[in-house]
Amino acid sequence: MHKRFLKIFQTGLICSALFAFPAAYGQTDTTDLLSLLEPDEPVTNYVFATFKSTRVINMHSIENPAAGVLDFRISHRFGAVNTGAENLWGLDVAAMRLGFEYGVTDRIMVGFGRSNINKEIDGFFKYKILRQSSGKRNMPVSLSLFSSMVVRTTKWEDPDRKNYFTSRLFYCNQLLVARKFNDRLSIQFAPTWVHRNLIPDNTVKHDVFSIGTGGRFKMTKRSSFNWEYFYNLPDQLGPDYTNSLSLGFDIETGGHVFQLHLTNSKPMNEKGFISETTGDWAKGDIMFGFNVSRMFGVVKPKHKGEKH
């Protein structure tokens, strides 16, 4: 009888301890108990909106459209302001590029465009190699590879000589390296190689190596100040060519992004504004221009959020 009473007493103590333990710590479910035993697993926090558009101004940024999204872009450049009142300070003159760009995946985008300057058609491919992140995976920068080809479709300057289709082709390859330092400031560098199959004479090179830099400073929730500059290494271009410098503002309005800017570059594809800029800021050879971007959902995503 004594042993049986002792067993009942011990069982009661054990049950009391089990019920009293959660209450002692102010916890009422098994989830809270598991949190004491298992620490939180670290997660990767990716950086968003380093830039608001796939362009800084002329230069591609590290941003891509989301998978299944089509970006219709209109790029417009007026004439130089130093042409005076006769041309309404350049507003009577116009150059344009129309483009379509598509997010194949969240990391890959493709696109093509048509410029009325030299009646050129360009196509490009951009692949996001790395994405800036913190936490479980710490990556200090975003890195993209950009590659494009341009076909010039104007008539041959000398139709009597033997002309090759390959002479119409131009190429550009870039590494885009960007970092978002805080909610306001983002900076990008772009080591660049441009190759031209046909050159006018021996005073210029087939290959042009350039270093581009650009950035974005967020001013309000929907606007920012942007800049970019391309420095071409010496002895590659003729004396009539200059380095591209552009300053502008981004304004976001719903599904549209308006980019207003001043630039000394009239061409709007990569080989054009990098290796064929002739404007001089010091002489007022500056053009007002704008880019308009409109996004359309073409393919409904199969998952929510992004996969990397």
User: What whole-number percentage of the chain has pLDDT above 90?
Assistant: 67
Is the pLDDT score of 10 beyond 60?
Answer: no
- pTM of the predicted protein model: 0.82
Where exactly are the structural domains of the chain? 84-297
Q: What is the mean pLDDT of the chain?
A: 87
User: What whole-number percentage of the chain has pLDDT above 70?
Assistant: 84
pLDDT in tens, 118-130: 999 999 999 999 9
Work out the average pLDDT over 136-163: 93
Judge whether 135 and 42 are in contact, CB under 8 Å.
yes
Region of residue 7 (phi > 0: left; psi between -120 and 50: alpha; otherwise: beta) = alpha
pLDDT in tens, 206-251: 999 999 999 999 999 999 999 999 999 999 998 899 999 999 999 9
pLDDT in tens, 169-190: 999 999 999 999 999 999 999 9
Which class does domain 84-297 fall in?
Answer: mainly beta
DSSP codes of every residue in the chain: -HHHHHHHHHHHHHHHHHHHHHHHTT--SHHHHHHHHSPPPP-EEE---SSSSSBSSSSB-S--PPTTEEEEEEEEEEEEGGG-GGGTTTTT-EEEEEEEEEESSSSEEEEEEEETGGGEEEEEEEEEEE--EEETS-BSSEEEEEEEEEEE-SPPS-TTS---GGGGEEEEEEEEEEEE-SSSEEEEEEEEEEEES--SSTTS-SEEEEEEEEEEEEEETTEEEEEEEEEEPSSSS-TT----EEEEEEEEETTEEEEEEEES----SHHHHHH-----GGGT--EEEEEEEEEEE-S--SSSS---
